[in-house]
Amino acid sequence: MDAQTAEEIIKRQFVEVIVAPVVSSDALPTLAEKKNVRVLALGEGYAPPKNVQMLHRISGGLLVQSADELLFGSEDFTIVTEREPTARELHDLLFAWKAVKHVKSNAIVFAKNKMTLGIGCGQTSRVHSSLIGSIKAGEQNLDLTGSALASDAFFPFRDGLDNAAKHGARAVIQPGGSMRDDEVIAAANEHDIAMIFTGVRHFKH
């Protein structure tokens, strides 16, 4: 992280913790202006540990489950719409898919140019998560036009795609597997949205 990046982060949003592979010396004075910001430099070659177990306290015990360590690339998905994603859209879709796994279900992430624009989470309705994501983007004056949208689970109805189009998304990544996949795909085609199915879902509670 260089000085310009540090300045943009500090200026544009409230943060308490910043994690980066490396923090340049010219970034430190800017970061030091915010006394409550903690900065973690992981090092260039950092890789997260493998086979991590997640523990969740439940009534009478603990739920132990494997962490979501799924690696996913362009060879692992299926394009299901008439329009294929552009190269830029594909990069944004894969970026959004990596981000959405860290968001509590039901999770929606809008992304563009490898940057998250709006995140909606923790709702019983995927449409409501999408609405929250669009509101969050609006609060930061971020334009969702041409964005990619990732959903951690399938869209059960076409309204998810209708809302994606309403908010400006042009490409969608989701697991697929709904009984109404055909209706959802038809909605994407109507809106000229490129959509890909991953065949696997994320799930975080």
Domains and CATH numbers, the chain: 3-41 (no CATH), 74-197 (3.40.140.20)
Query: Of 131 and 203, which is predicted with more confidence?
Result: 131
Q: What pLDDT score does 56 carry?
A: 80
Separation in Å, CA 2 to CA 21, 26, 30, 37, 59: 11, 7, 10, 16, 46
Q: Rounded CA gap, 205 and 193, in Å?
A: 29
Average pLDDT, whole number, for the chain?
88
Q: Dump pLDDT digits (tens) for 138-185.
A: 999 999 999 999 999 898 899 989 999 999 999 999 999 899 999 999
In three-state secondary structure terms, 162 is helix
Who contacts 197 (Cβ-Cβ below 8 Å, separation ≥6)? 77, 78, 80, 174, 175, 176, 177, 181
CB neighbour class for 74 (10 Å; exposed up to 12, middle 13-18, buried from 19): exposed
Length of the chain: 205
Q: Dump pLDDT digits (tens) for 51-92.
A: 777 788 888 899 887 766 676 666 678 999 999 999 999 999
Query: Of 70 and 124, which is predicted with more confidence?
Result: 124
Among 55, 28, 50, which Cα is nearest to 41's?
28
Query: Of 140 and 205, which is predicted with more confidence?
Result: 140
pTM: 0.78
Q: Rounded CA gap, 156 and 72, in Å?
A: 23
One-letter amino acid identity for 58? Answer: I
Q: How many CB atoms lie within 10 A of CB 127?
A: 18
Q: Are the beta carbons of 146 and 168 closer than 8 angstroms?
A: yes
